[in-house]
A and B are shown apart, each in its own frame.
Chain A
Amino acid sequence: MNIDLEQFLIVSIILFCIGLLGVVVRRNLIVMYMGLELMLNAANLALVSFSHFRDNLDGQILVFFIITVAAAEVAVGLALIVALYRKRQTTDVNELTSMKL
């Protein structure tokens, strides 16, 4: 296999930037959350490739914990979005500008 660590890292960087673009550009809270998931996945890919090319399993353990924490984060975040939607009837961040519900 001629593929190096560098190629994996570049894929991971580009994926991270796509996720960041989603968070910056899209105005829908749910799609912004999907952008966050993409960024977390990009970080996971970088960690797994580091772990593979250094022949060290600590990176994979870290990815395991990241996946767990991401699942918990998505559950709580989506519950927050649903609670917000019940109060304000919108998920557009341009309309969610006041802190008072």
Chain B
Amino acid sequence: MQDTLFYIFSALTLLCGILVVFNPFSRNPVTSAMFLVLTIISMSGLFVLLKAFFLAAVQILVYAGAVIVLFLFVIMLLDVKEEERRRFQKFGTFMGLISVIGLAAIIINTTNQTFTIANQSEVQSIKETFNQSGAAETKPLGKLLFTEYVLPFEIVSLLLLVAMVGCILLSKRNTSKEEAK
């Protein structure tokens, strides 16, 4: 059952990821954003399979709820018609495809070799601990977040404040300076 779910979710993630980048039917950024939502939701399904329930919820809330809405607002502010008229540059696409496929082949090969070389008994022991554990992990996650990682947590909240101030500063029309000119 879990294997089938893994294959369904990963196929959905990869398919929608490809459709974000190369959609043969539409060049519209809105379509890309919608497929990004599907990618993120199926990836949160993978998180559930990995027993990271809290992160699955956060993934859907933050990405599908906030980031994609932000993308859609910005796409509405800009001109999408221009993008639809553009074609792919053949040479650039071809070279990009070759180099990225080469990179993927190298990394996958390295991963395979690592798993072949790795000590089999160690892999076995990891599998055993994995089969024993299975409790809900949200409570220990919260405990860890508010004890050991409380300083990074506060720093991240400061980062969010800085991002908010930066956004307001960047998107505000600079009227006083233009009047002075």
Q: Report yes or no: B171 in contact with A79, Cβ–Cβ below 8 A.
A: yes
Which residues of B1-55 are within 8 A (CB) of A? 2-3, 6, 10, 13-14, 17-18, 20-22, 29, 32-33, 36, 39-40, 43, 46-47, 49-52, 54-55
Residue of B66, B145, B163 touching A76 (CB-CB under 8 A): B163
Known: A13-B108, A38-B17. A72 touches B137 (CB 8 A): no
Total interface residues on B, CB under 8 Å, equals: 79
Say whether B62 faces chain A, with CB atoms less than 8 Å apart. yes
Say whether B136 faces chain A, with CB atoms less than 8 Å apart. no
- Per-position 1/0 for B59-74, Cβ under 8 A of A: 1001100110011001
- Per-position 1/0 for A23-56, Cβ under 8 A of B: 0111110110111011001001100110111110
A-B contact count (CB 8 A): 207
Q: Report yes or no: A53 in contact with B126, Cβ–Cβ below 8 A.
A: yes
- Per-position 1/0 for B91-135, Cβ under 8 A of A: 011001101110110011001100100000000001001100100
A contact residues, range = 35 or more
Q: Report yes or no: B62 in contact with A67, Cβ–Cβ below 8 A.
A: yes
Residue of A51, A57, A83 touching B171 (CB-CB under 8 A): A83
Q: Report yes or no: B29 in contact with A11, Cβ–Cβ below 8 A.
A: no
Q: Report yes or no: B46 in contact with A30, Cβ–Cβ below 8 A.
A: no
A2, A7, A44 interface centre (most CB from chain B within 10 Å): A44
Residue of A4, A26, A27, A80 touching B21 (CB-CB under 8 A): A26
Chain A residues whose CB sits within 8 angstroms of the CB of B74 once the complex forms: 30, 78, 81-82
Q: Report yes or no: A64 in contact with B145, Cβ–Cβ below 8 A.
A: yes
A-B contact pairs, 8 of them (CB 8 A): A7-B10, A18-B18, A27-B86, A34-B36, A41-B40, A45-B46, A48-B52, A67-B58
Query: Which residues of A approach B to under 8 Å, CB–CB?
Result: 1-11, 13-15, 17-22, 24-28, 30-31, 33-35, 37-38, 41, 44-45, 48-49, 51-55, 57-58, 60-61, 63-65, 67-76, 78-83, 85, 89-92
